[in-house]
A and B are shown apart, each in its own frame.
Chain A
Amino acid sequence: MSSSLVTGKTRIEQMHMQGIVKRFPGVMAVNQVDFDVRAEAGRGEVHALLGENGAGKSTLMKLLYGLHRPDQGTITLNGQPTVIRSPQVAIRLGIGMIHQHFMLVPSLTVAENIALGMKSSRGALLDLARVRGRVRELSERYHLKVDPDVPVWQLAVGEQQRVEILRALYKDAALLILDEPTAVLTPGEVDDLFRVLDQMRQDGHLLVFISHKLHEVLTISDRITVLRDGQRVDTLPAKTATRLMLAQMMVGRPVVLEYDRPAVARGERRLLLDGVSALSDRGTPGLIDVALELYAGEIVGTAGVSGNGQHELAQVIAGLRPTTGGTITLNGQDVTHKSAAHLHKLGLAYIPEERMIDGVVRDFTVAENFVLHDHTRKPFAQGGVFLNFRAIAAAARTAIRDYEIKTPGTDTPIKRLSGGNIQKVILARELARRPQVLIAAQPTRGVDIGATEYIHHRLLDERAKGTAILLISEDLDEILALSDRILVMYEGRIVGQMPRDGVDVRHLGALMAGAK
C-alpha cells in the first residue's frame, strides 16, 4: 500500500538549515538556528520541534516553506543550496506544511480546497470528480474519513485537520511540516494521526512535528530539537530524552507536571441545566436534552471528541446561543433566554474556545481588551459613559504583573501578543471579577507548558475559592488532572458521568467513541 504513494517526485534525502536568522520588528524570532531532517536507507524521520509560545518554531518552519525569507543562513536540500522564495517553490520542491492555524478556505468544499492551486487534468476545467476519487482512495488507505463534497466551514476542527493532512498526502509532499497538528485532536485521533505519520515515515517521508505535548513528542519522534527565545537549546535523540528534561530545557527552569488537588468542600448548587436542547450552526440538533449540575468549589470536566456538542453547550450557558428547550438556572434564578450581558452580571464568566475570534478584539489594546465586558462599570467608566483610562490601565497592569503576561505595555494591540499570553489576558479578565461560575472551553489549547501549568494552577485556585467551574477540553490529560467529576459528551448528549477518582480511562475512551 505504500509504494503507490510515491509518485516519482524527487525524494528529499536530506534537508539542512544552517545559521538561520529571522528578525521581526522588535523581535529576534529565530537566532542562529541549525536544523536538519534526513532519511536513512529509505526510511524517513520524524524530527520534533519543541519550545514555548513564541520560541520561534512556526517562524523557522515558515522560512522552510517560503512564507518568510531568512535574514541570514542557508537551506540545503539533498546537499544543494536552495532559495525558497515562495510556497509555490516549496510545493514544487516537495515540501508541504500543515499550519498551526489551518489554511483552508471555509466556503469551499473539501475537494475544492484540495484541488486549489493544482494543475487540473482537464486543463481549463476543474476535475473535481477525479480529485474526489483520489481523496476517497487516500482517506480509505489512511483511515482519514471526510466527505469531499462538504464545505469546510461545516467541519469540526478535527475533521479540518484531516483535510489538511489529506491535502498534503494528495500533493505527495516528500517533506511534511506539521505545526501543532494534535492541539485540536482527541487521544483517539492522535493515535490515528500517529499511525499515518509512521506509515509516511516508512515510505521515506521526512516529517517535522511541532507540539507542546511532551508524551506525544516522545512517542512519535526520532529526534527532538528544543528552541527557546529563538535559539536552539539542544538536539537529541528521542530515546535518550525524558519529559522532565525536555520541559526544563523549554522553560529554562524546573516544571511541575503533576498537580495536587486538595480536597475542597462542595458548596451550594450554582448552575443547573434541565433538559436543555439547542441547534448547531448547521441547523441540526447540536445539544439534546442535556441535564447538568455544577456546585461551588468543584471542577467538572467535559470530555468528548470534537464536534459532539461541547461548543454548543458552552455557548448556551454563556447566553450566546438560543435554546430550543429546557431551562437554565444560575444561582437559583431562571436565566433561560437571558442575554450574555445579563448572565455576566449574575457572576458568569466564560473563556471561549476560539480566543482570537470570540475572546478578544484584535486591534484593541491589551488594556481595552481587558474591559471588554466591564467597560461601563465603575471604576472603568465614569457615569457609565466616559472611560477612565487610568483605572483601566492600572487594572491591566495588575493583571500583567499577577499573570506574568509578556507584553511591551498595556497599550500594545493585543494581536501582537503570542497565543499563550492572549489566553492569559482572557483568563485574567474573566477571573478578575470573582465569578461564581466559570466556563472554561479549551483553556490551554495551543498554549505552552509554562503557561498551561500556570493556567491550571489558577483554575485550581479558583476552585479552592469556591468557584464552580465547567471545564471543556479535548485534552483528556487535562480533564483527568483537574476535574472532580467528569462528563462525557457524544452526539449532543451527555452519555456518561463519573467521579474523577477511580475512573476507568478505557471506559471513558469507549464512551467518547459512542459505545453504549
Chain B
Amino acid sequence: MRLACTVNRPSVRAFFLRVTDNFPYGVAFAAAFAAASVLLVALSASPFAAIGAMAQGAFGSENATAETLVKATPILFVAVGICIAFRGGVTNIGGEGQMIMGALASVTVALAMPTAPGPITVTLSLMAGLVAGGLYGGLAGLLKAYFSVNEILSTIMLNQVAVQIMNFLLNGPLLDPTEIGTNAIAKTARIAESAELPRLSLPLPGGIADMFGTAELFGRTRLHWGLLLAVVLAVVTYVLLWRTTIGYRIRAVGQNERAARYAGISIPRNVILSMLLAGGFAGLGGAVQVLGLQYRLQTDGSPTGFTANAGFNGIVAALFGGLNPLGAIPASAFFGGLLVGAQKMQRDLGIPASLITAINGLIVMFVVSAQYFVRRRLKRRAFAPSEPVEAPSALTHTPAPAEGNP
C-alpha cells in the first residue's frame, strides 16, 4: 500500500517490479480470507458468497462505490492530518475529538446564518470547522510543547471530553428548537439547504453515458464535494510537507529535534503547528460530515455515533499510506470499501456484525504484517549482483534531480 515514490524513470520493468512487490499484500488478503473462512464455515456461511457480498457492497454498483467514497472521505481528512502530525513527531490519537469540535463549530455557524448566500455559509462553516478542530488539536500541542504532557494521553482524554461537550451543547444551547419539550434524541436543527455542501456527480460524455445508461455518474448517490475537498487537501498537504519550508521544518523537528534546534528551528512552534494542522484537518472532516452528509449534528452519547471511528481509521489509513498524504488516498478508499462491504455481508448473508468486526481486525493485522515481506523483497533486490562493487562516487554517478520524496 505504501506508494513507491522513489522510482525515477518509470519503465516496464519498474512497473512490473512494483506490481510484484505488492504481491505479499495479495498473499495477506488470501491469508486473512482463509482465516476468516474458518470462522465463516464455523457459522455455516459460504466464504465465497461472503467475499462476493463484500466486493459487491464495496464497489459492486454505482451506489456502492459512492458509499465507499463517502465513508472514505472523513477517514482521508483525518489521515492527511495524521501524516503531518506523525511526520512532525506528534502522535495524535485525537482525531475523534477534533472531528467533533469541528462539526460543532461548523453546524453552529451554518445555523447562525440561515439566509446568507450558500457559498458564503458553506465557506464560513468549513472555516469554523477547520479552526475549531485546529484549536482543539493545538491545545494538545500546546500541552506537549510547554507542559510536557504526553500527547497520546492528552488526545485520548480530550476525545472523551469532546463527546461530553457535544452532549452538553446538543442537549442545551444547540438543541433543535422544535424538539424542546420532546424526548427526541439530542440533535441540532437541520441546516438550510443553501448551507449544504453540494452532491458530487460526474457528467458522462455521450458514448459512455449510453453504456452506463445514465447521463451522470453518482447522480443519485450521497457522494458529495467533501471527497474532492479531501483529495485536494491531500495533494496540498503533500506539497506542504515536501515542497515548502513549513513542511521541511515540521519534518526536521519530527525526525531529529536536536538537529532542528541546532538549525534554529523552534521546536514548540512546530509541534503546535503540526497539531493545529492535524486537528484542523480532522475538524474539517467533521464539518464536511455535517455539511455534506448529515445536515445536522446529533449525538447518541458516544463518539462513534457521529465519527463512525474515522478518527481512528484515519490513523490506520495514514500509516498504511506510508505517512504520505497521497498514499493515504488509496488507503482511505480501501478502508471505506472494507467497512461498507462488510455491512453488505451482514445484510445479505446474515453474518453477525461481530464476525465482521473480527474479520476487519484480521485483515488489518495480516496486511500490516505483509509489509515485512514487501520490505524484505525490496531489500533483497537492492543487493547488487555478486561481483565486487565500486564504492559509489559522485563523479561516476550523475546525481538524479532531487526529488522531494519521503
Contacts and interface: CB of A to CB of B under 8 A. Distances in A.
Contact of B402 (A26, A406, A410): A410
Contacts of A230: 388
A400 B386 CA distance: 28
Contacts of B397: 408-409
A25 B260 CA distance: 29
Contacts of A140: none
Nearest to A231: B388
Interface stretch (A210-218, A280-288, A323-331, A339-347): A339-347
B394 A361 contact: no
Nearest to B256: A361
Interface residues of A, number: 57
A336 interface: no
A361 B252 contact: yes
Interface in B268-291: none
Contacts of B382: 25-26
Contact of A364 (B244, B255, B258, B265): B255
Interface stretch (A61-69, A257-265, A368-376, A480-488): A368-376
A386 B240 CA distance: 8
A359 interface: yes
Given A26-B382, A400-B394, A364 B252 contact: yes
Given A385-B245, A386-B243, A389-B402, A407 B262 contact: no
Contacts of B232: none
Given A340-B264, A358-B262, A392-B402, A387 B248 contact: yes
B245 A384 contact: yes
Nearest to A363: B255
A370 to B, nearest CB: 10
B89 to A, nearest CB: 11
A312 to B, nearest CB: 15
Given A318-B262, A340-B264, A385-B246, A362 B255 contact: yes
Contacts of B243: 386-387, 389
Contact of A376 (B245, B393, B403): B245
Contacts of B207: none
Given A229-B391, A405-B394, A23 B383 contact: yes
A411 B386 contact: no
B296 to A, nearest CB: 38
Interface string B234-257: 000000000111101101100110
Interface of A: 23-28, 31, 54, 229-231, 318-320, 339-342, 344, 350, 352, 357-365, 367-368, 372-373, 375-376, 381, 384-387, 389-390, 392-393, 396-397, 400-401, 404-411
28 contacts: A23-B383, A26-B384, A54-B391, A230-B388, A339-B264, A340-B262, A340-B264, A341-B263, A341-B264, A344-B264, A358-B258, A359-B259, A360-B259, A362-B255, A362-B256, A367-B402, A368-B402, A372-B263, A375-B245, A385-B244, A386-B245, A389-B243, A389-B402, A390-B401, A396-B399, A404-B394, A407-B392, A409-B397
Given A339-B264, A400-B394, A408-B399, 16 more contacts: A23-B389, A25-B384, A26-B389, A28-B388, A341-B263, A342-B264, A360-B256, A360-B259, A361-B256, A364-B252, A372-B259, A375-B248, A375-B249, A393-B399, A408-B392, A410-B399
